[in-house]
Amino acid sequence: MKPDRSNSLALLVIALAFAFAASVAGDVAALDFGQVSAHKKGRRAMGFVLQTKAFASGAEIPAKYTCSGENVSPALSWNGAPQGTKSFALIVDDPDAPSGTFTHWLVYDLPVTTLQLPENVSPADDLSGGGRQGRNDFRRVGYGGPCPPPGKAHRYFFRLYALNSQLNLPAGAPRREVENALRGHILAQAEIMAKFAR
């Protein structure tokens, strides 16, 4: 029995139509993923850098900046914020804490003109150069240094966010409120990770 050429041609046309539709959908999906990828890459902007002279990234945090020492905040500086940045926010935490991620420091609404925080920032609600401090998981406003239980070293992440607006939160805000306010406003992120053990 000979195949029906008209049916074969119709099937070929349908197959080509589906292939074209899939190709277009693939291009759209690739574009979407490309935008997401570019956005994520922007959030880790190569030019946006957070630095400290207190310790090297990946190294041990000196006792001075922990509960084993003076428990003062390290001096931080940054540069390379992307165009459109209106403010900065800082979150310092320990993801290795036994009870889950433990927040050690929250700072937000730092003016775009602020490019550093000095050592031993006062635990005041409002900072003298602008900006506010939130409530850490020690239930205090300001910096609370690393203080892990004895044993294995914990990692401490200092993450600085360049934002396209101010958060306009009151001083003493908890992390949950800070994170909710950050959503949709992060232009770039820079970070330092260091370790400490007791």
Homologous superfamily of domain range 46-196: PEBP-like (3.90.280.10)
**Confidence (pLDDT) at 22:** 40
Rg over CA atoms, the chain: 25
**Confidence (pLDDT) at 28:** 31
Domain borders along the chain are 1-43, 46-196
Average pLDDT over residues 71-76: 98
Asked if 15 and 55 count as a contact pair (C-beta separation under 8 A), the reply is no
**Confidence (pLDDT) at 15:** 47
pTM attached to this predicted model: 0.78
pLDDT surpassing 80 at residue 34: no
Q: Which residues contact 189 (CB under 8 A, 6 or more apart)?
A: 43, 44, 45, 48, 159, 160, 161, 162
**Strand spans (E) along 27-121:** 49-51, 76-79, 87-94, 102-111, 116-117
**Confidence (pLDDT) at 167:** 97
> For 85-138, how does the pLDDT look when each residue is reduced to its tens digit (9 = 90+)?
999 999 999 999 999 999 999 999 999 999 999 999 999 999 998 999 999 999
